[in-house]
Structure 1
Amino acid sequence: MKRFISFKTAVTATVIILLLVTLFNLFILLGVAPYTIVWGGRLESREQMVVFELVSILINLFCLIIVLVKARRFLPRLGKTADIVAWLLPVMYFFGILGNVASTSAIERALFVPVTVVLFVLTLRIALEKNSQ
């Protein structure tokens, strides 16, 4: 995998995707996009959506921080910790793929299965980097 995707490319692409997904979460939170297309189409109220979207934003920001620390672009002293914690990301995205495939929302399946697969591949590439830059 290292021959096909460079560490730098994986980091850059992951950061861009996470920022775009976070922006999408903000659109859901602000009512710009309907909340019926996320969380498997199972949200029952606006209050429930607010909680789930805030959690989603926090998770995305956590992932972003882990990627940036692993790349030594943020808090480089924590790089060795990020080398270990980075393995949580592909595991999380693997389960995210399963959740998106099981979604009752066709829009969620069409949009977020591919995004989550790409994030899985990119974060796996990031986690595989032995000596982060």
Structure 2
Amino acid sequence: MRKISLKLAAISLAVIVAVVICFHLIVVSGIIPYTIVWGGRLENRSQMLIFEGVSIAVNGFILWLTAQRANWLSARLSPKLVSLLFWALAILFMLNTVGNLLAKASLETYLFTPLTFISALLCIRLALKDQERAKPLATNTSR
């Protein structure tokens, strides 16, 4: 997993999340019908606005968290908290992958299943940053 550099993982996840946010904004605008998202289970426009609003907010949080891990922001969270949140996101993305496989809408199955699976792997990579072994300090044996 560490063969993927932290920089590549952060940039890749940021791009995926930004594209997903754009997709959700297009759904809200009505260009893409809401019947093809959320597993084809949304019943009306007001329900869609709630679900899409939550999704945009969650994806905005993921983008912000990715910026935290990549040191793109000056305000810093605890590295251990960031790792914990990325582990939680990895689990969420894996569950979402299963949900996409079971979706009624084929767009979710064929397009978003690979995206959520890749996002889960990228979150795992970003979670592992602080769990890398520290190199032992050199000891001075001559006095």
TM range (shorter): over 0.9
CA deviations over 1:48-94 (Å, ceiling 9, x no partner): 10110000001101111111112221244214231322221101101
CA deviations over 1:22-59 (Å, ceiling 9, x no partner): 00000000001111111000000011101100000011
Look up the match of 1:46: 45
Which amino acid in the other structure matches residue 119 of structure 1?
S
Look up the match of 1:91: 91
Look up the match of 1:2: 2
CA distance in 2, matches of 1:72, 1:47: 37
CA distance in 1, matches of 2:63, 2:25: 16
CA distance in 1, matches of 2:92, 2:67: 17
Percent of matched pairs sharing the same residue: 37
Task: Tell me which structure has the larger Cα radius of gyration.
Answer: 2
Gaps of 5+ in 1: none
Count of matched residue pairs: 131
CA deviations over 1:84-111 (Å, ceiling 9, x no partner): 2222110110111011111011111011
Q: CA deviation at 1:10?
A: 0.3
User: After TM superposition, where is structure 1 displaced by more than 4 Å over at least 4 residues in a row?
Assistant: none
Gaps of 5+ in 2: 133-143
CA distance in 2, matches of 1:24, 1:59: 14
Which amino acid in the other structure matches residue 83 of structure 1?
S
SS at 1:103 equivalent: coil
Contact 1:37 1:105 (C-alpha < 8 Å) held by counterparts = yes
Contact 1:69 1:79 (C-alpha < 8 Å) held by counterparts = no
CA distance in 2, matches of 1:77, 1:125: 19
**What is the root-mean-square deviation of aligned Cα atoms in Å?**
1.5
SS at 2:130 equivalent: coil
Contact 1:70 1:79 (C-alpha < 8 Å) held by counterparts = no
CA distance in 1, matches of 2:131, 2:65: 15
Which amino acid in the other structure matches residue 48 of structure 1?
Q
SS at 1:32 equivalent: coil
Look up the match of 1:26: 25
Q: How does 1:60-71 map to 2 (within 5 A)?
A: 60-71=59-70
